[in-house]
Amino acid sequence: MISHTRVRAALKRPIKLCKYAGVPVCVMILEIEFPETKRYRRMTRLVRFKSVEVTAEFRDAEGESKLGPEIIMFCPESYAGKPTFVLHSYHTAIGTSINTSSAIPVGLSVGIQRSHTEHFSKTCHVGIEGRAPRMGQRNPIVKWIIKENEALKQGVPDQLRLVVAVQNPDERAFNIKLNFSAYLGFNAVEFRVKKKEAVLSTKVDPKLLRERALNDELGPEHGRIWQCYADDSELDGSMLEKLTNLKGSAVGKTSAFG
């Protein structure tokens, strides 16, 4: 929790276990919620999230950097919400006054006035940009920047489902850490807040998940729903886009995808 705000984050189940070029891959949904912020005593309107930065970091659970998971796909890489068209007008005026007292009666002058008006429209929408920068020889981090529709001023979406596919050759356990910072705004005023602790920090063990799914006390089908779905199918980019709640998102691929 950040002062005056709440952010909820969870690793949504089931985790999907599949493969890419014969190598095991974990496909995970990071679900983030931004409930309404608390009211300030001297403000009559809600403070909103104008922009948010979310960073997901994946590390080997035992600290072996060379053996940890590596991001190969993520979604969205880019997303544009429903557009809002705003009409703007730009008006300019030029005035000139010339004193011609030598030619006409004293006190009179000739004035020239010119004006020009231009009309243009601006398109605004909720926007999301994602990237997975290379850190040394690996891609262990993905970062998203989410921005509100500037015209509507309603803040970022209340709920986001961000999807990441990580390559994990030996199906070793790994840790996920989700960090968060944001710009809160009220009318034209904005200020930055950052959560010191991770909003989500958890461990994922693919081998253990697979075992729990197969041996679920309510049966394998229940295990596939609540633990992991392991069909070992070939990873496809469209798979990630379908798992988000941001239809029409572009899927990003890192250099590890080959």
**pLDDT digit string (tens) for 200-212?**
999 999 999 888 8
Domains and CATH numbers, the chain: 8-37+51-61+75-81+127-227+240-257 (2.60.40), 88-119 (no CATH)
Which residue type, as a one-letter code, is found at position 185? G
Higher pLDDT, 195 or 84: 84
Q: Is pLDDT above 50 for 2?
A: no
Residue 240, SS3 per DSSP: helix
Mean pLDDT of 159-185: 92
Instruction: Locate all alpha helices (DSSP H) within the chain, ordered by sequence.
Output: 206-214, 220-226, 237-243
- The residues facing 114 across adjacent strands are 94
Q: How confident is the model at residue 248, as a pLDDT?
A: 93
The answer to whether 46 touches 28, Cβ cutoff 8 Å, is no
Higher pLDDT, 30 or 122: 30
Q: How confident is the model at residue 220, as a pLDDT?
A: 80
Rounded distance, CA 127 to CA 211, Å?
A: 39
Say what the pTM is: 0.81
Q: Is pLDDT above 90 for 30?
A: yes
Two structure tokens written together for 85:
């068209």
Q: How confident is the model at residue 37, as a pLDDT?
A: 54
Long-range contacts of 227-232 (CB under 8 A, 24+ apart): 227/13, 227/14, 227/15, 228/13, 228/14, 228/15, 228/16, 228/17, 229/14, 229/15, 229/16, 229/17, 230/16, 230/17, 230/18, 231/16, 231/17, 231/18, 232/17, 232/18, 232/19
Q: Which residue has the tokens 């999907």?
A: 16
Q: Each residue of 89-147: pLDDT tens digit?
A: 666 766 655 555 555 455 545 555 666 677 667 789 999 999 999 888 889 999 999 99
Which residue type, as a one-letter code, is found at position 136? G
Q: How confident is the model at residue 232, as a pLDDT?
A: 82
DSSP symbols for 31-71: EEE-PPPPPPTT-SS--EEEEEEEEEEEEETT--TTTS-EE
Which residues lie below 8 Å from residue 117, measured CB to CB, with a gap of 6+?
89, 90, 91, 92
